[in-house]
Amino acid sequence: MVASGYKPGVHARNQKVETAHHPAVRVPRKLKSDPGRGRFTRHHRLVVEENDRQVGGGAFEGFGQAEEIVGKSLQTLGIARKDVVLATKFEHATGTGPNDGGGSRVHIVEAVKASLKRLGTDHIDLYQMHGWDPATPVEETVRALDDLVRQGLVRYVGVSSWAAWQVSTALGVADALGASHFQAYQGYYSLAGRDIEREVTPMIEAYELGLLVFSPLAGGYLTGKYRDKTDGRRATIPFPPVDETKGIKVLEVMDGIAASHETTLEAVALAWLRQKPVVGCIITGVTSLEQLNANLATVALTLTDREVAALNDVGTIAPEYPGWMLAQGSAARASLMATGVMSEAY
């Protein structure tokens, strides 16, 4: 499965994810490649050989070019549609008009028709809204997406980079309307960027959504190639932002783990995410087969409990209000749930 806005994707290791509203929905652990035009067949051939079946394209990047590449690659490789989980996104502007972006019914209907045509298919397995639209009532967005599901154009719906309260609001609206619920959340998560742990991952776990992680290598920072240089992509496009004071310490811990396993830094960073119960899918961008192989090395890597703890500790985030207040105030009740005994702090 590949989200829109990104180039064709490849993935490794399917994981069965139980969701609140649709049990046993399969959300593969995803590794997404970025091969560019003219090279998609070779990259996707490797994906097929790796036994993965989750691909997709992008509605707005290159004015839909990514979706066209994915659609063409599926035809070229002769992969049956039923064997593929196909995902894409909408919401980012594809033009200058008020309905050329966002979550309005007009844009959603036009966007899905265009995506289906570019992908060369009659349905999309996961259709995701790429951002929050403050100009459109959430009720309109939820109803429009539900209509797509009822029409059979879309199987499941999800969102990307929404605040936890926004997702909760939309799920409440869906309940009230009897409409389709979001089943997936795509968000930034890496050893160098763990802000998602404050509000979003607790929300994801509470509602049992599938988490699709993008930028798991922090825009290449966790490959280590930027630690001693100031040029390259991050010099001009520092996305996602990285606290390099903390980042260098994370890299030092990763160095030791990678050396002990004789593997890549990429493999360590991705393995840490793969072993997070909340993570259902990982998206990573590559520009060469060498980079792809460096990422795929994670499939053979299992971190020890001690290694996971070391990585957790070095990149931990400082608690913010109300997080620290909730942790203190609910400690006794949490102890009761975990052990059956109230702590003395109560």
The 10s digit of each residue's pLDDT in 297-321 is 999 999 999 999 999 999 999 989 9
Of the candidates 57, 54, 58, 139, the one whose C-alpha atom is nearest the C-alpha of residue 91 is 58
Structure-block tokens of residue 115: 């995506």
What is the rounded distance in angstroms from the CA atom of residue 144 to the CA atom of residue 151?
A: 11
**Dihedral through CA 84, CA 85, CA 86, CA 87, nearest 10?**
-170
Q: What pLDDT score does 298 carry?
A: 94
Q: Which segments within 170-302 are labelled E, that is strand?
A: 182-188, 210-214, 279-282
What is the rounded distance in angstroms from the CA atom of residue 106 to the CA atom of residue 108?
A: 6
Position 249, amino acid: K
Bridge partner residues of 17 (DSSP): 25
Quickly name the fold that domain 10-315 has. TIM Barrel (3.20.20)
Q: What pLDDT score does 58 carry?
A: 53
Q: What pLDDT score does 10 carry?
A: 29
What is the rounded distance in angstroms from the CA atom of residue 189 to the CA atom of residue 195?
A: 8
Q: What pLDDT score does 345 carry?
A: 53
Place of tokens 């203190």: 328
pLDDT tens digits along 75-122: 888 888 888 889 999 999 888 888 889 999 999 999 999 999 999 999
Model pTM score: 0.83
Q: What pLDDT score does 48 carry?
A: 44
What is the rounded distance in angstroms from the CA atom of residue 21 to the CA atom of residue 149?
A: 14
* 52 has a pLDDT exceeding 70: no
Of the candidates 155, 80, 143, the one whose C-alpha atom is nearest the C-alpha of residue 116 is 155
What is the rounded distance in angstroms from the CA atom of residue 67 to the CA atom of residue 308?
A: 36
Q: Binning pLDDT at 50, 70 and 90, where does residue 172 land?
A: very high
* 4 has a pLDDT exceeding 90: no
Q: What pLDDT score does 215 carry?
A: 95
48-62, 208-222, 326-340: which has the minimum mean pLDDT?
48-62
14-18, 57-61, 157-161, 178-182: which has the minimum mean pLDDT?
14-18
Percent of the chain with pLDDT over 90: 59
Helix (H) and strand (E) counts for the chain? 13, 11
Q: How many CA atoms lie within 13 A of 267 on its CB side?
A: 21
Average pLDDT, integer, range 203-224: 95
Q: What pLDDT score does 238 carry?
A: 86
Contact 67, 57 (CB under 8 A): yes
Q: How many CA atoms lie within 13 A of 139 on its CB side?
A: 2
What is the rounded distance in angstroms from the CA atom of residue 151 to the CA atom of residue 138?
A: 20
* 26 has a pLDDT exceeding 50: no
* 18 has a pLDDT exceeding 50: no
**162 — phi, psi (to 5°)?**
-95, 155
Percent of the chain with pLDDT over 70: 80
Mean pLDDT of the chain: 83
